Amino acid sequence: MLRSLSAAVSGLRNHQNKLDVVGNNIANVNTVGFKSEMVRFQDIFSQTVKGANAPAAGRGGTNPVQVGLGMALASTTTVHTGGAITATERETDLAIEGSGFFVVSDGIQNYFTRDGSFARGFSGDLLTASGLYLMGWEIEKSYEDEEGNPVNPGDPGAIEVSKPNTAKGLTKINIPLGEEMIAQATSSIKFAGNLNSGTATGEAYEYVTYFYDSLGNRYNLTFKFTKGAGNTWGCVVSYYDAAQALKEITLPDISFEEDGSYLEPTPPPNYSFTINAGDLGSGAADVNIKLDFSLLTQLKDPNDRSSIVVKSQDGYPAGELVSFNIEQSGKVTGSYSNGLNRALGWVALASFSNPEGLMKVGSNLFNFTVNSGDPRIGVPGELGRGLIQSRALELSNVDLAYEFTEMITTSRGYQANARVISTSDEVLTELINIKR
């Protein structure tokens, strides 16, 4: 049998394999998050007709004489370059700007994908088209000062910070639209600002804010600050009851140092008061409110007036989750009808030391292998992981111009190998005809 036949057969077989890959790339030109593949060939072992000879006296060396026996498929490599990102109108459409993969799960095993066309399921979970859950973390809350240092919730200037609770492991990203937020009564009010030191004794400054009862009803609350002797100010809290009768509560004086900073006497004064449920007439419980004046100052104001604001205040009416947003960091924030926002979860991304080592398992999913390395799951934007764009999708990275060029050259290669077979057949025919 002619060696050209077996070599040409291997050429036909492997050019067909390459044409299959090219065809699959072109078929997925509009598949969201699809990553194209490239085929590489290699020759197989060669038959040595004559070995190489070293140079001898008066004569040079000779090279080996070999005849190749065909070719083989060396590799199919997944191209992980990013596809174009296009805007959409769906909140659940996500794209990764940069490297990384979404982590999805069937409840037993995690898979990885660049396809961010998720949809909400019946229970509010974000799902792929094949029903796998988008994974992330629950939210934990902590408190920091303006410089990012950890503080206690009750410390002056404490800022609430939401972070992913990565220690608890991955969980489903759930967005329960329509979820009710139960009303919460006001229990604390923290003030900031300045009481003008130039105010004459006996003059007053009024500030109006509000509070909520346990049923979410809102009421006005007036604070009247009256300049006292020295560096003290009196404070009277007032509100109107259900019968529109004015109710007043006198608090301990507020004191300041000579430099205008807040002075907390020893023992500290009790700036708490209770609004009786009977006064409100709403059927709600008593409202117990604790005040914090530690951020107030007493300085000379250029405009000769006092200015106070509420730095922080709890309490809110009932509401329901009406919308959500997924930030670049992966944080999922829900917006409620009462005007409040709450962190709902944190989307996770996975990265790999060798993404080309991932194995495609269908449905736009990848699974890790021994050559890809274990997944490094973490927060978007950290350790080389990309950022998330909401209301956007990553398109296929198939380059049609390149694929058509590959299709033409592959087709020509297939035709050439077919011609080798037909020519070899003619040679065999002539050989058989010699006997005639």
Please tell me the least confidently modeled range out of 249-253, 287-291, 411-415, 421-425. 421-425
Token pair for 43: 């020759």
Extents of the domains making up the chain: 3-50+63-81+399-433, 88-145+166-180+320-394, 188-317
Query: Band of the pLDDT at 233, cuts 50, 70, 90?
Result: very high
Residue 144 has pLDDT above 60, yes or no: no
Residue 425 has pLDDT above 90, yes or no: no
**Rounded distance between C-alpha atoms, residue 263 and residue 37, angstroms:** 71
User: For residues 85 and 303, which has the higher predicted lDDT (pLDDT)?
Assistant: 85
Could you read off the pLDDT of 157-198 as tens digits, one per residue?
Answer: 555 667 787 777 899 999 999 989 899 999 999 999 999 999
The pLDDT assigned to 436 comes to: 65
Q: Tell me which DSSP letter residue 411 carries.
A: H
Could you read off the pLDDT of 43-62 as tens digits, one per residue?
Answer: 888 787 888 888 887 788 88
What residues contact 277, with CB distance under 8 A and at least 6 apart? 213, 283, 284, 285, 286, 287
Q: Is 229 exposed, middle or buried (0-12, 13-18, 19+ CB in 10 A)?
A: exposed
> What kind and span of H or E run contains 425?
helix 400-433
Could you read off the pLDDT of 326-350 as tens digits, one per residue?
Answer: 999 999 999 999 888 888 999 999 9
Residue 154 has pLDDT above 60, yes or no: no
Per CATH, domain 188-317 is 3.40.50.300: no
Token pair for 93: 């459409």
pTM equals 0.79
Residue 19 has pLDDT above 60, yes or no: yes
Q: Kindly give the residue spans of alpha helices, DSSP state H, lying in 85-190.
A: none
Token pair for 125: 């979970």
> What kind and span of H or E run contains 6?
helix 3-27
Q: Is 11 exposed, middle or buried (0-12, 13-18, 19+ CB in 10 A)?
A: buried
The pLDDT assigned to 354 comes to: 95
Mean pLDDT, residues 128-154 = 75
- Provide the 10 A C-beta neighbour count for residue 315: 20
Apex CA 124: angle with CA 118 and CA 128, to 5°?
Answer: 25
The pLDDT assigned to 162 comes to: 74
What residues pair up with 91 in beta bridges, in sequence order?
A: none
The pLDDT assigned to 160 comes to: 63
What residues contact 425, with CB distance under 8 A and at least 6 apart? none
Mean pLDDT, residues 362-378 = 95
What residues contact 335, with CB distance under 8 A and at least 6 apart? 321, 322, 323, 324, 325, 341
